[in-house]
């Protein structure tokens, strides 16, 4: 067995939020299973705009279509912030898109005469980085993009790429003495860490980070391991039980 000699915890936040998940950042991608399009105008789900993939878009999402994304197992949080690059394509004429993020709804009215650019091979449009933020604590999340467009997707369309989901989470890390977050739990929090000897983990077999921490476990004479996400069971190393200190 290898005994841990140092435990280091660092929390990283962006404007008090931590970045929990990103999707559709690559130049090209295929449609992941947690997203779907209803009322699509073709079997395609991804359109290439100026050399980059977007979900929906020209020939795919128009009048009567919606884009939906589903997420589960969100860590404990109190507030959510979602940013999405939304492509308003072709001949919008004072029509409105809605973005529903777990019940928080954002609306944008758009018209092709308000400053569009030739952003795709097939026509004109405008891209906005839309931000939706508010109270949210559920461990599931649904994002729905809908419009009141009245023409087909070859005349009016909408698409998305670069989805960023930020959460405001407790700045705490939990160490468990057994796998699958069971056994004795010791919690360290930013600003008020309890570093008394009795609160130091005696054995670590699983770790919860709440999405915003980095844990480094240093083993005497054998280097370190760095953990950046929840670990249900540490299998690479054994951590010896020692006599509990009251």
User: What gap in Å lies between CA 188 and CA 192, rounded to an integer?
Assistant: 8
User: What gap in Å lies between CA 239 and CA 180, rounded to an integer?
Assistant: 16
* Buried b or exposed e, range 164-190, using 16+ CB within 10 angstroms: bbbbbbbbbbbbbbeeebeeeebebee
pLDDT band at 241 (very low <50, low <70, confident <90, very high): very low
Q: Which residue has the higher pLDDT, 13 or 203?
A: 203
The CA distances from residue 15 to 12, 18, 167, 169, 246, in Å, are 10, 8, 10, 12, 39
User: What gap in Å lies between CA 67 and CA 91, rounded to an integer?
Assistant: 19
- Weakest-pLDDT range from 24-28, 49-53, 99-103, 138-142: 49-53
Structure tokens at 129: 């980085």
CB 107 within 8 A of CB 97: yes
- Residue holding tokens 């097939």? 122
pLDDT at 169: 84
pTM, two decimal places:
0.77
pLDDT tens per residue across span 59-96: 999 999 999 999 998 988 999 999 999 999 999 999 99
CB 226 within 8 A of CB 192: no
Q: Which residue has the higher pLDDT, 116 or 168?
A: 168
DSSP codes joined into one string, 143-197: EEEEE---S-TTTEEEEEEEEEEEEE--SEEEEEEETTTEEEEEEEETTS---SG
Question: Residue 197 phi/psi, 5° resolution?
Answer: -55, -35
- Burial zone of 100 (CB within 10 Å; 0-12 exposed, 13-18 middle, 19+ buried): middle
């Amino acid at each position: 067995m290898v005994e841990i000699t140092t435990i280091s915890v660092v929390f990283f936040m962006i404007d008090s939020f931590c970045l929990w998940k990103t999707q559709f950042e690559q130049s090209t991608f295929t449609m992941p299973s947690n997203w779907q399009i209803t009322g699509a105008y073709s079997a395609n789900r991804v359109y290439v705009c100026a050399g980059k993939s977007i979900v929906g878009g020209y020939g795919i999402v128009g009048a009567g279509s919606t884009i939906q994304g589903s997420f589960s197992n969100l860590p404990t949080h109190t507030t959510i912030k979602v940013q999405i690059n939304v492509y308003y394509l072709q001949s919008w004429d004072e029509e409105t898109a809605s973005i529903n993020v777990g019940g928080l709804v954002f609306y944008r009215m758009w018209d092709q005469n308000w400053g569009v650019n030739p952003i795709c091979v097939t026509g004109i449009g405008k891209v906005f980085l839309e931000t939706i933020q508010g109270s949210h604590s559920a461990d599931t999340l649904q994002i729905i993009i809908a419009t009141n467009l009245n023409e087909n997707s070859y005349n009016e369309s909408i698409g998305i790429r670069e989805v960023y989901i930020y959460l405001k989470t407790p700045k705490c890390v939990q160490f468990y003495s057994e796998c699958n977050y069971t056994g004795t739990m010791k919690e360290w929090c930013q600003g008020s860490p309890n570093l008394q000897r009795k609160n130091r983990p005696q054995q670590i077999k699983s770790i919860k980070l709440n999405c915003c921490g980095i844990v480094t476990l240093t083993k005497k004479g054998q280097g370190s391991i760095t953990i950046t996400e929840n670990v249900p069971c540490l299998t690479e190393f054994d951590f010896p039980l020692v006599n509990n200190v009251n």
